[in-house]
Amino acid sequence: MKYSESRIKLDKIRQAVFRELARRELARRYYYDYLEFVHGGAWIPTKFAEFLAREIQVFLQSKTNHAFDLLILETPPQHGKSWTVTESLPSWYMGKYPDRRVILISYNEDSAERFSRRNREKMKTWGEILFHVELGGLNRATEFELSGRRGRLISRGVMSGITGHPADLMIIDDPIKNREEADSLIYRDKLWAEWQNTLKSRLSAGAKVILILTPWHEDDLAARILKSENSDAVKLIRLPVEAEDCNITGSPDPMGREPGAPLCPELGKDLNWLRQFKSAYINDPLGGARAWQALYLCRPRAESGNIIQRGWWKYYQTPPYCPVKIISVDAAFKSADSNDFVAITVWGKSGENYYLFDSVNQHLTFTQTLAKIRETRQKYPDARGVLIEDKANGPAIIDVLQREMFCIPVNPEGGKESRVHAASPAIESGHAFLPRSAPWLEEYLNQWTAFPAAAHDDMVDSSTQALNYLFRVHADSNPPDNQILSGTPDDDCYLTSENIYNIY
């Protein structure tokens, strides 16, 4: 009897040992099992974390002929992305590949130190047990290395400098801190320069880069990478807090969720939480909808529109008689080498309806801008005049062209958003018409839809300039018998010396 009991106990111990050895082997082989293993009871398994872990491991182990590969993960805040990736992945990667080097980038030094510390703790606790590696002599707040191997981790704030240190794996975690930074073109340009001039120069041949971020702005680092880098080497995974309908977005949810399903119900963020949390944003008139679209749906613009809804616009196939037409120019600040575009739009008015006839949006030098305005004026000889903002290259353009056509200098009051709000009632009420077959229509609509979060808003500026001028003009919708294409003069028809610089 005693022998039998001892045998049973021994079998139980042996089974426990085998289970533990199996857990360790799975943690060595598979990143998601590693997450469960090293976090123990603190780990709350979620389908979101499992999906990320599987995708990341496939990405890391895939072999390509690319100079480097990029995985962009766009996810909402506070759903465990940093815990799942930045605070854990480097320790597993270095354990599995002890001669490879890792660079972590975050938005400040405090975050950099935290990410380094979390990985160092895992390596100290589990490195020998799982991977037969241990920490070496270099063991600083933001750096550590493996004993007797080339493996090394360096963690830095995004603008802190990492000259001289190569990376086989680079993780960039939320390089933008807040809305103010996201809306700053100066900061976005600095961040892009940091990627081009510093971070990318640290990548070894065949390196893997993981960019994790909440997409605050449609011109953020991820957007610029998607536009500029080799598309075959870049993969984007966007995981909004609320699953979208593939019939609307045109693509299925990456995790296979049903439309409206939450991202992490396992964390208590279920459908009830989602409804309440979403309502708090959507019902906030001071930018709540924009924040929800960007931070939680991972679309830094409302698909229907931030200020101007896409569905408000009307369309025409053949334009009606318009007794008043105007050409509106939004000039660039510099030459074609700058980030500015020149936008030229041609608008007409018939009764209380407004019709867009043409739109140009190009990088143009000063000379090219003059040529394009002349070309547009020849194309629309019945246009009353040319509105030109009295800034940037505007005064010089007016000085040259005033001898050839009626150039009206415009010095608008208020900011861009206030001018869009001034034009909004005409568009919302269905009195603004766009040419349905124009090749530039989608680009034009996208600028309006994205405003004020768009990377460029030149066509919006040109159009609001024209519309706010036409609001002051009377235009009979019935063509006169003699077909003279001009408006009926009245007190509001022409700008006076008192309002020529204040058309708003």
Q: Which residues of 192-220 are buried (b: 16+ CB within 10 A; e: fewer)?
A: bebbeebbbebbeeebbbbbbbbbbbbbb
Residues 135 and 55 in one domain: yes
225: left (phi over 0), alpha (psi -120 to 50) or beta: alpha
pTM value is: 0.65
pLDDT tens digits for range 257-315 = 999 999 999 999 999 999 999 888 877 766 677 788 788 988 776 555 567 888 899 99
Task: Give residue-wise pLDDT tens across range 401-411.
Answer: 988 999 999 98
Helix-helix angle 441-450:458-470, to 10 degrees:
90
pLDDT, position 248: 60
How many structural domains is the chain composed of?
2
The pLDDT value given to residue 302? 54
User: Are 211 and 348 found together in one domain?
Assistant: no
Are 230 and 348 contained in the same domain? no
Q: Which of 208, 239, 270 is the C-terminal boundary of a domain?
A: 239
End position of a domain, from candidates 239, 261, 277: 239
Looking at the domain assignment, is residue 350 inside a domain? yes
Q: Which one-letter amino acid corresponds to residue 214?
A: T
96: domain CATH number is 3.40.50.300
Indicate the residue type of 269: K
In the predicted model, is pLDDT for residue 503 greater than 50? no
Residue 2, domain member (yes or no)? no
- The CA distance from 223 to 226, in Å, is 5
Mean pLDDT, rounded, for 388-406:
88
The reply to whether 390 falls in a domain is yes
What is the C-alpha to C-alpha distance for residues 250 and 244, in angstroms, rounded to an integer?
A: 10
| Token code pair at residue 92 | 């597993």
Q: What percent of the chain has pLDDT over 90?
A: 55
**How many residues does the structure list for the chain?**
504
pLDDT in tens, 454-490: 667 899 999 999 999 999 888 876 766 544 333 333 3
328 and 203 in a common domain: no
Same domain, 87 and 174: yes
Is 117 within the bounds of a domain? yes
In the listed set 185, 212, 239, which residue is the last one of a domain according to the structure?
Answer: 239
CATH of the domain at 437: 3.30.420.240
Domain that includes residue 108, residue range:
17-239
56-79 in b/e burial notation, b at 16+ Cβ within 10 A?
bbebbeeeeebebbbbbbbbbeeb
Q: Is residue 456 part of a domain?
A: yes
Q: Do residue 106 and residue 196 come from a single domain?
A: yes
